[in-house]
Amino acid sequence: MDIKKLTIASLHEGLIAKDFSAREVTQEYVKAIDANDKNVGAYLTRMNDAAIAAAAEVDAAIAAGKELSPLAGVPLAVKDNMLIKGVTATSASKMLEHYEAAYDATVIEKLKFERAVFLGKTNLDEFAMGSSTENSAFHVTKNPHDGTRVAGGSSGGSAAAVAAGMALAGLGSDTGGSIRQPAAFCGVVGMKPTYGTVSRFGLTAMASSLDQIGPFTKTVEDAKILFHAIKGKDVHDATSIDVVMKPFHYAPKKEDIKKLKIGIPKEYFIEGIDPAVTKGVEEAITKLKKLGFTFKEVSLPHTKYALSVYYIIMPAEVSTNLARLDGIRYSRDVKGAKKLNELYLKNRAHGFGPETRRRVLLGTFVLSSGYYDAYYAKAQKVRRLIKQDFDEAFKEVDVILSPVTPTPAFKIGEKTSDPLSMYLSDIFTIPAPLAGIPAISIPVKKYTVGSGELPVAFQLMGKHFHEADILGIGEMYEEE
């Protein structure tokens, strides 16, 4: 059995045909993690016993003749900012190093109902703050295609696990590009759904108006299966929405998909993009044109402000969400403090890493008296203009195509001393969450970069709740 060739769809077919058992598949993935993760560093917590026990239950269900979900027996990697009952949920921070989840996140609850198998919790930038997974308090995750380069972030662990064959699929969270950017760097599919379509209950909040859970997979078809399993209204999340969507088995006709018009935003094709990225995106456009898709240039004029808006709104929400982490209620307790304020200061100084502290301070500043109107209120107004740009563009086209990142995966340590340079790696992914629209990163192929080859991807962005459009085009591209 070659687990690297398995997809969610082919695993399901193999289990039904009894070509292999769920237990055998899970054991193969456990072996793969044992052999490879010391070089990649994708996982923070392993769940070997629980995974094998869950796989055995799937085999028992098959033997009993029960109907199986497409996700039954599928070995998954879960970003370590999502709660799995009884398992540590560190968010890659010393502040939560020993915190054990008391309940399941809604997405985990749904996947348990589908009989999915959880292999473990994966590494990330601390509290999902970063673009390289170098900000983890525990270790750096390396790119499986080149160990000297980053896996991307903040969901680098899940992306690397899928790319390295150490999980069949995975879950990440996307705030400004934290699914799509590492997916592009690692050469896998990564999807950010429309804001509100997937419950955030049980996700450690970073920026509540932007965070969204989504899948990492090998194929667009697999992303569709996993997305439809986790979507839906949740009574525990007031921002979740119950939207009528096509079920996972719905297959739109190719002639209907081909009627979708694809927009090319002129503001996204700028100087400074790496030639390999430009070549990859141009190749994707050429293939889609051969498939019969029509293209039209569109304008998103306020895109140039997206990065600035994001780095005002996001830190403001970060400072609010992390205020509850004082080191008293979540297991960290620094000794020697004689006063309450001293206890808070010591716990937060020792518990939070440099990037987290930077964003908390920035967020506190933009929300402070005298600066709220000058920064935060103004950023919210510009955010509205960014959304209006997309609304206007979608009157002319159905889907928008762009690069995912300006460059392929960069070297480990290359940008750590220059936070602004690091933030620019998300310049093409940030507008989608600001507008709340769905977006997906789809790999093109590897291109020569330096002395090796690295993956390159393109991005499709769709109208609110029109995941079927970007998934449909993505599936046709993959088939071609």
User: Which of the residues are catalytic?
Assistant: 79, 154, 178
Give me the DSSP letters along 325-384.
-SSSTTS---TT--SHHHHHHHHHHHHS-HHHHHHHHHHHHHHSTTTIIIIIIHHHHHHH
Q: How far apart are CA 128 and CA 17, in angstroms?
A: 40
All residues at 6 or more sequence positions from 113 whose CB lies less than 8 Å from its CB, including other chains: none
Angle between the N-to-C axes of helices 467-479 and 275-290, in degrees from 0 to 180, rounded to the nearest 10: 90
How many residues are present in the chain?
Answer: 480
Collapsing DSSP states into helix, strand and coil, what is residue 120?
strand
What's the rounded Cα separation, in Å, for the pair 363 and 359? 6
Q: For residue 228, give Cα distances in angstroms to 111, 225, 252, 342.
A: 11, 5, 15, 47
What values do phi and psi take at 204, rounded to 5? -65, 115
CB 204 within 8 A of CB 312: no
- Cα(365)–Cα(318) distance, rounded to whole angstroms? 12
Per DSSP, what are the bridge partners of residue 76? 118, 169
CB–CB of 443/188 below 8 Å? yes
Report which of 172, 142, 187 is spatially closest to residue 39, judged by C-alpha positions. Answer: 142
Collapse the DSSP code of 434 into the 3-class scheme (helix H, G, I; strand E, B; otherwise coil) and give the result: helix
Which tokens sit at 391?
């609304």
Residue 70: C-alpha distances to residues 4, 257, 266 (Å): 18, 24, 40
327: phi > 0 → left, psi -120 to 50 → alpha, else beta; which? left
Buried-exposed string 224-262: b where 16+ CB fall within 10 A, e elsewhere? bbbbbbbbbebeebeebbeeebeebeeeeeeeebeebeb
Tokens of 354: 């440099």
* SS3 call for 172: strand
How far is Cα 414 from Cα 196, in angstroms, rounded to an integer? 35
What's the burial of 309, exposed, middle or buried (CB within 10 Å: 0-12/13-18/19+)?
Answer: buried
SS3 195: coil
